[in-house]
């Protein structure tokens, strides 16, 4: 590894990569090769920075698994050349993409730091500069000649989080993300302070393995009082359905009506995994704690434990794409693969 860390900055799209035309007020993407013109402070960092953009930067609302594969491929192709990666991404779907990349990049031993901003980089009160500068510092941080961080993470508003533990909670404030079930990996104040005990410790002898097959024929159902048999029946009657995620109440509770249990049993008989995650921002699924979740446990519903919906979706796509057998699927899903659950 070189003495001066090499960092690759990858721009996928999003507010952080835009500047405002002050005559028209419109936003447009700027050329990231001219990054130093907009953020001259980057010259003060003790690392070498190269940039690469998607051919056509996208709004993160248009993000999909094909773009996840494109992003993973960029990292794969540049993995030996660079010591760390910073991914600039729109905030709306950042937790989904970052969670997916955590599963796609197996045996990762270098930092992949996602960041973005709520205001464009050229705005007077922008949060883009601090987010970008500190993300690059995180990606360049080393200890004993090795990267300090060796996982996919997300940096926003002075906090570094494990990516697959995050969710976006605010569209207005600079503090757009949170990680209620896992503490920050680092906090940026006067000093950048890492929470060493919380960092993943990978086996550095293993070679990076990039998974590029994701199964997207899955259904996400949010439970609500009054949801009808016909609605759920219609949703799960999709002919190509491969998996289901149910956002349940509290610690994993649902209605105990016969029709609902019968739908779950029918899915199980077909070998379609059903994942139980909580609608709550924090906390964990604990099937069997209440009578309203015992039936889920009995029919074989898989516990998402304290997984976020974003991480559960990404993990389900990843495991289905990896052709994990139905016999071992429950055991593997309920096992933490990238620090996404306790």
Catalytic positions:
15
The structure tokens listed for 59 are: 């709004």
Phi, psi angle pair for 50, to nearest 5°: -120, 155
- CA–CA gap between residue 220 and residue 235 (Å, rounded): 9
Number of CB atoms found within 10 A of residue 21's CB:
10
Number of CB atoms found within 10 A of residue 62's CB:
11
- CA–CA gap between residue 297 and residue 236 (Å, rounded): 20
Q: Is 42:35 a contact under the CB 8 Å cutoff?
A: yes
């Amino acid at each position: 590894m070189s003495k001066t860390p090499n960092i690759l900055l990858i721009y996928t799209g999003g507010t952080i990569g835009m500047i405002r035309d002050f005559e028209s007020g419109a936003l447009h993407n700027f050329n990231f090769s001219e990054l130093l013109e907009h953020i001259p402070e980057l010259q003060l960092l003790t690392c070498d920075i190269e940039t690469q953009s998607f051919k056509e930067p996208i709004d993160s609302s248009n993000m999909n698994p094909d773009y996840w594969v494109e992003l993973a491929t960029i990292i794969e192709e540049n993995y030996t050349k660079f010591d760390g990666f910073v991914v600039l991404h729109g905030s709306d779907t950042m937790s989904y993409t970052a969670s997916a990349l955590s599963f796609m990049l197996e045996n990762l031993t270098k930092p992949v730091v996602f960041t973005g901003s709520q205001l464009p980089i050229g705005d007077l009160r922008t949060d883009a500069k601090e987010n970008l500068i500190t993300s690059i510092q995180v990606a360049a941080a080393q200890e004993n000649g090795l990267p300090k961080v060796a996982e996919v993470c997300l940096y926003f508003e002075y906090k570094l989080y494990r990516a697959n533990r995050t969710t976006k909670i605010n569209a207005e404030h600079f503090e757009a993300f949170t990680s209620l079930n896992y503490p920050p990996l680092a906090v940026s104040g006067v000093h950048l302070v890492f929470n060493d005990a919380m960092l993943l410790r990978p086996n550095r002898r293993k070679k990076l393995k990039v998974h590029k097959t994701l199964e997207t024929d899955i259904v996400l159902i949010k439970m609500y009082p009054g949801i009808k048999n016909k609605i759920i029946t219609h949703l799960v009657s999709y002919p190509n359905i491969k998996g289901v995620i149910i956002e349940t109440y509290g610690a994993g509770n649902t209605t105990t009506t016969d029709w609902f249990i019968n739908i779950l049993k029918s899915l199980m008989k077909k070998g379609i995994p059903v994942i139980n995650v909580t609608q709550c921002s924090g906390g964990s699924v604990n099937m069997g704690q209440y009578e309203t979740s015992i039936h889920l446990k009995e029919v074989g519903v898989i516990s998402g434990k304290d997984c976020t919906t974003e991480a559960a979706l990404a993990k389900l796509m990843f495991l289905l794409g990896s052709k994990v057998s139905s016999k071992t699927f429950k055991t593997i899903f309920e096992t933490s693969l990238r620090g996404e659950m306790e």
